Amino acid sequence: MSTMSDVAKKASVSVMTVSRIISGSGSVKESTRKKVLHAMEELNYIPKGLSKKVIRSEISTLMLIVPDITNSFFTFIARGMEDVAKKHGYRVFLANTDENLHKESEYIEMCLEFHADGVLIAPVGDSSKENLELLLQQEIPFVLIDREVNGIQVDVVKGDIISASKTLIEHLITLGHSRIAIITGPPDNGASRDRIEGYRQALNASGLPYLDQLVKESTMMRDINPTFIDELLSIPHPPTALFVANMFQYAHSLKRLHEMELRVPEDISIVGFGNTDYLAAIDSALTAAIQPTYSYGSLGTQLLIERIEGSREIPRKILLQNDIVFRNSTAPPKP
CATH number at residue 119: 3.40.50.2300
Last-in-domain residue among 38, 56, 74: 56
Domain boundary among 56, 74, 99: 56
Question: What pLDDT score was predicted for residue 48?
Answer: 66
pLDDT > 70: what percent of the chain? Answer: 93
**pLDDT confidence bin for 270, thresholds 50/70/90:** very high
Say yes or no: 69 and 141 in one domain. yes
Determine the pLDDT at residue 26: 66
Same-domain check for residues 310 and 226: no
Same domain, 254 and 198: yes
pLDDT-wise least confident of 32-46, 52-66, 210-224, 310-324:
52-66
**Residue 330 is assigned to a structural domain of this protein:** no
Q: Is 38 exposed, middle or buried (0-12, 13-18, 19+ CB in 10 A)?
A: buried
Which pTM does this prediction carry?
0.82
- Residue 57: the pLDDT is 54
Q: What is the pLDDT of residue 106?
A: 96
Q: Is residue 71 in some structural domain?
A: yes
Q: What pLDDT digit, counting tens, does each position of 127-179 carry? A: 999 999 999 998 899 999 999 999 999 999 999 999 999 999 999 999 999 99
Is residue 335 a part of any domain in this protein?
Answer: no
- Express as a percent the part of the chain with pLDDT over 90: 69
Q: Which of 179, 182, 190 is nearest to 147 (CA)?
A: 190
Is the pLDDT assigned to residue 104 strictly greater than 60?
Answer: yes
39, 56, 73: which is the final residue of a domain?
A: 56
Do residue 261 and residue 307 come from a single domain? Answer: no
Is 333 part of any domain?
no
Residues 296 and 152 in one domain: yes
d(CA 50, CA 187): 52
Question: How sure is the predictor about 112, in pLDDT bands with cuts at 50, 70 and 90?
Answer: confident
Distance of alpha carbon 44 from alpha carbon 287, whole angstroms: 50
Residue-wise pLDDT for 18-77, tens only, equals 887 877 766 777 778 778 888 888 888 877 666 555 555 556 789 999 999 999 899 999
Is the separation of the CB atoms in 229 and 253 below 8 Å?
yes
pLDDT of res. 56: 53
Note the pLDDT of residue 332: 98
Q: How many domains does the chain have?
A: 3
- CATH number, residue 42: 1.10.260.40
Answer yes or no: do 20 and 74 share one domain. no
Q: Assess whether pLDDT exceeds 90 at residue 5.
A: no
User: Mean pLDDT score of the chain, rounded to an integer?
Assistant: 91
Q: Does residue 329 lie within any of the structural domains?
A: no
Q: Are 29 and 176 in the same domain?
A: no
Question: Is 194 a residue whose pLDDT tops 60?
Answer: yes
My answer on whether 255 and 189 are in the same domain is: yes
Both 185 and 232 in one domain: the answer is yes
Q: Is position 241 within any domain?
A: yes
Same domain for 232 and 200, yes or no, is yes
Does residue 140 belong to any structural domain of this protein? yes
**What is the average per-residue pLDDT within 246-256?**
95
pLDDT band at 260 (very low <50, low <70, confident <90, very high): very high
At residue 39, the pLDDT reads 84
Domain extent for 180: 161-291
In a shared domain, residues 166 and 282? yes
In this prediction, residue 278 carries a pLDDT of: 65
152 and 296 part of one domain: yes
Residue 173 lies in a domain: yes
Instruction: Provide the pairing of β-strand 180-184 with 241-244.
Output: parallel
